[in-house]
């Protein structure tokens, strides 16, 4: 079942509110041919930056304390986050997301079957959406989908397919660390705002950092902050948590050791690669009290947020990690939080729905404006994983390495192909990683610079609004480079000797405002609009009068390689609402004011 942007009332039933950005397509799917319960949702939010849309597939456990069920609204929220994240990352791809509905009882052996079958269901949309991993889906699952869908229809594949393992390479964490360092560099500009007056940004060993969630993002963030630096230049990682507890020390934690232990567990494919809780046990065995060791810990992981550090990195995917009161059941309320000066969001926290937006704004008014804590929103800074994955599209698989058609879907044959070409795939993976890291560093530095500049220029602007503005401006900049052929829609055509009644029927059935009138030789000789048809009736012409007798002859047209700006100028100059797009003398589509309106997103979209 598919829904488009015009199905506003039906989408409302699913909890989705349409706007200028999207969604473009919402698809509910179910595999009726398999004995297992296999189904899910795909949302293609927006492809103005380019097609296909990129975004992960989520495969969540049943609803828990801090996440909801996989439903169309939840998938849409994630897809919108990807639209903004990909735009902010200056990637020429749109935003989308998919979610597999997890059966109540899941045999681990059935997971690969479910993933493969879901991959087959989304294969028909490969021109619109290419998947990557998300919560509950890893690079091996992406390999499963690549085997049935082809190498270049999937991103974030394992290295034996020329991909880069985002979790092992620390994709998102790379961006978080670049953001932290750039924000420290630009922090002096924030002191122009009253809430930051007199605050100096510490550097080196004077910088303290707390990481909530020492997993793929959090562990790599700690490692990248410390790597390649002399001891005096290394910040102190003073706090870290996992789902079972937290540990904190003003003198700093052995973060490098914790990272190496986490990385080893990941390499060994341990199901639950926790390192913070085991370290807490180790500390308690060595000393009788936490005062003796100088290390403080608790089995309540959320209480880490009561502790203080200059920089706090939320790396656990919980949207409402903070709120001004307990009404939304946040991890911590702002009245009980520790003393921080920077929040750099490593986990995804964005949601476009009105209620989530309202909560976010009230939190930022308290945290940013009243407490003077700078916030770097998630999609501006944690896009490193997306960038690494996207370079599997930007640098496509060479034709001689693509899977031959006759082995697609055959895992054994694909594994042999990969083994036979392992050196070429390894070289391809390295080439993609190098280019992606360079892009990542440049764009996230740019994002932080623009974020700080916007906030300093407007004291009333909140970080979440500034971040959205940056992403929307990127989309608008991209749209300015579009041509007529990129935005045109199909135009219904009618022969010039067709009758008036035939023309009226075609206009009604096509739901179009304009028809192309074509000669016997296939050339455009005119256009027909509702105005032309009405004028014919007023003049008492008969129903069998040919279209050529009352059409608008010698219509204004635009070439397919004309810019969007040029199209708008022509519509305004000739005071018309639409015009055919031609390639030479061949009619290929139509552009109109309504189409052009979609090519410039309002700078206040969603900022209510």
Domain covering 2-167+394-439 in this structure, CATH number: 3.40.50.10860
The DSSP element (H or E) to which 248 belongs, if any, is strand 245-248
Q: Is the dihedral of CA 484, 485, 488, 494 positive or negative?
A: positive
pLDDT above 60 for 66: no
In the numeric block, the tokens 């047209």 are attached to 557
How far is Cα 345 from Cα 314, in angstroms, rounded to an integer? 5
Residue 227: predicted pLDDT: 93
**Fold for domain 171-384+441-457?**
Rossmann fold (3.40.50)
pLDDT at 343 over 90: yes
**485-597: CATH number:** 3.10.580.10
Residue 282 in this model has a pLDDT that exceeds 50: yes
How long is the chain? 608
Q: Has residue 285 got a pLDDT over 90?
A: no
DSSP 313: E
249: left (phi over 0), alpha (psi -120 to 50) or beta: beta
Of the given ranges (65-79, 111-125, 252-266, 352-366), which has the lowest mean pLDDT?
65-79
Neighbours of 248 (CB within 10 A): 23
Q: Is it the case that residue 287 has pLDDT exceeding 80? A: no
Q: What is the pLDDT of residue 486?
A: 84
Residue 598 pLDDT exceeds 60: yes
**pLDDT for 519 beyond 80:** yes
Mean pLDDT of 53-59: 93
Per residue in 229-268, pLDDT (tens digit) is 999 999 999 999 998 999 999 999 999 999 999 999 988 8
Segment 38-46 shows an average pLDDT of 94
Q: What is the pLDDT of residue 139?
A: 85
Rounded mean pLDDT, 523-542: 89
- 603 pLDDT exceeds 50? no
At 37 the pLDDT is 84
Backbone φ, ψ for residue 401 (5° rounding) = -105, -10
Domain range annotation of the chain: 2-167+394-439, 171-384+441-457, 485-597
DSSP secondary structure letter of residue 546: B
Domains 171-384+441-457 and 485-597 share a fold: no
Tell me the pTM. Answer: 0.81
Contact at 8 Å (CB) between 148 and 116? yes
> Is pLDDT of 585 > 50?
yes
Mean pLDDT within 171-175: 93
Secondary structure (H, E, C), 377-429? CHHHHCCHHHHHHHHHHHCCCCHHHCCCHHHCCCHHHHHHHHHHCHHHHHHHH
What pLDDT does 392 receive? 95
């Amino acid at each position: 079942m598919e829904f488009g942007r015009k199905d506003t009332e039906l989408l409302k039933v699913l909890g989705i509110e349409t706007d200028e950005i999207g969604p473009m397509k919402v698809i509910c799917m179910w595999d009726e041919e398999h004995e297992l319960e296999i189904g899910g949702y795909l949302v293609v939010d927006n492809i103005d930056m380019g097609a296909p849309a990129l975004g992960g597939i989520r495969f969540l456990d049943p609803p828990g304390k801090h996440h909801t069920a996989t439903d169309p609204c939840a998938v849409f929220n994630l897809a919108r986050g990807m639209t903004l994240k990909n735009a902010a990352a200056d990637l020429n791809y749109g935003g989308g997301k998919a979610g597999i509905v997890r059966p109540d009882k899941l045999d681990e052996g059935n997971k690969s079957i479910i993933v493969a079958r879901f991959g087959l269901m989304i294969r028909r949309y490969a021109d619109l959406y290419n998947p990557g991993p998300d919560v509950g889906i890893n690079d091996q699952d992406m390999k499963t989908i690549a085997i049935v869908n082809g190498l270049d229809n999937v991103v974030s594949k394992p290295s034996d397919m020329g991909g880069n393992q985002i979790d092992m390479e620390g994709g998102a964490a790379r961006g978080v660390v670049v953001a932290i360092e750039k924000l420290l560099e630009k922090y002096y500009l924030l002191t122009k705002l009253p809430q930051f007056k007199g605050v100096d940004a510490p550097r080196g060993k004077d910088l303290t950092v707390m990481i909530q969630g020492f997993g793929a993002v959090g562990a790599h963030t700690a490692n990248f902050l410390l790597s390649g630096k002399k001891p005096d230049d290394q910040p102190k990682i003073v706090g870290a948590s996992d789902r079972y507890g937290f540990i904190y020390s003003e003198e700093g934690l052995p973060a490098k050791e914790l990272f190496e232990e986490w990385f080893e567990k990941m390499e060994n494919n341990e199901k639950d690669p926790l390192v913070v809780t085991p370290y807490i046990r180790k500390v308690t065995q060595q000393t009788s009290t936490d005062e003796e060791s100088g290390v403080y810990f608790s089995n309540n992981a959320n209480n880490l947020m009561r502790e203080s550090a200059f920089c706090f990195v939320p790396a656990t995917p919980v949207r409402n990690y903070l709120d001004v009161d307990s009404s939304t059941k946040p991890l911590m309320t702002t009245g009980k939080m520790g003393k921080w000066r920077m929040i750099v969001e490593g986990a995804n926290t964005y949601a476009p729905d009105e209620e989530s937006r309202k909560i976010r704004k009230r939190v930022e008014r308290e945290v940013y404006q009243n407490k003077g804590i700078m916030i770097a929103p998630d999609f501006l800074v944690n896009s490193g994983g997306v960038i690494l994955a996207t370079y599997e599209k930007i640098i496509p698989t060479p034709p001689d390495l693509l899977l031959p058609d006759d082995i697609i879907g055959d895992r054994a044959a694909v594994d042999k192909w990969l083994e036979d070409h392992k050196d070429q795939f390894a070289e391809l993976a390295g080439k993609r990683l190098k280019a992606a890291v360079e892009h990542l560093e440049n764009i996230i530095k740019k994002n932080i610079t623009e974020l700080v500049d916007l906030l300093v220029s407007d004291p009333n602007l909140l970080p979440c609004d500034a971040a959205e503005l940056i992403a929307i401006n990127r989309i608008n900049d991209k749209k300015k480079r579009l041509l007529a052929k990129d935005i045109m829609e199909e135009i219904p055509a009618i022969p010039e000797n067709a009758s008036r009644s035939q023309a009226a029927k075609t206009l009604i059935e096509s739901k179009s405002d304009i028809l192309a009138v074509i000669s016997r030789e296939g050339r455009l000789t005119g256009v027909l609009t509702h105005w032309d048809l009405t004028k014919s009736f007023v003049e008492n012409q008969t129903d069998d009068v040919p279209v050529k007798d009352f059409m608008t002859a010698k219509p204004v047209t635009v070439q397919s390689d004309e810019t969007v700006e040029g199209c708008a100028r022509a519509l305004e100059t000739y005071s018309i609402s639409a015009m055919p797009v031609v390639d030479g003398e061949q009619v290929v589509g139509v552009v109109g004011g309504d189409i052009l309106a979609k090519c410039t997103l309002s700078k206040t979209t969603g900022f209510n």
